[in-house]
Amino acid sequence: MNVHDFEAARPDGTVQKLSDYRGRVLLIVNTATRCGLTPQLEGLEKLYETYRDRGFVVLGFPCNQFASQSPEPDAEIEAFCRLKYGVSFPTFAKVNVNGRNAHPLFKHLKRKTGVWPFNAVKWNFTKFLVDREGRVVRRFAPTTPPDAIGEHVRKLL
Q: Is residue 81 annotated as part of the catalytic site, yes or no?
A: no
| Residue 149 amino acid letter | I
* Bridge partner residues of 8 (DSSP): 16
- CA neighbours closer than 13 Å in the CB half-sphere of residue 126: 19
- CB neighbours of 83 closer than 8 A, spacing ≥ 6? none
Length of the chain: 157
DSSP three-state, residue 58: strand
Q: Do 25 and 128 touch, CB atoms closer than 8 A?
A: no
From 28, 35, 149, 156, active-site residue: 35
Active-site residue set: 35
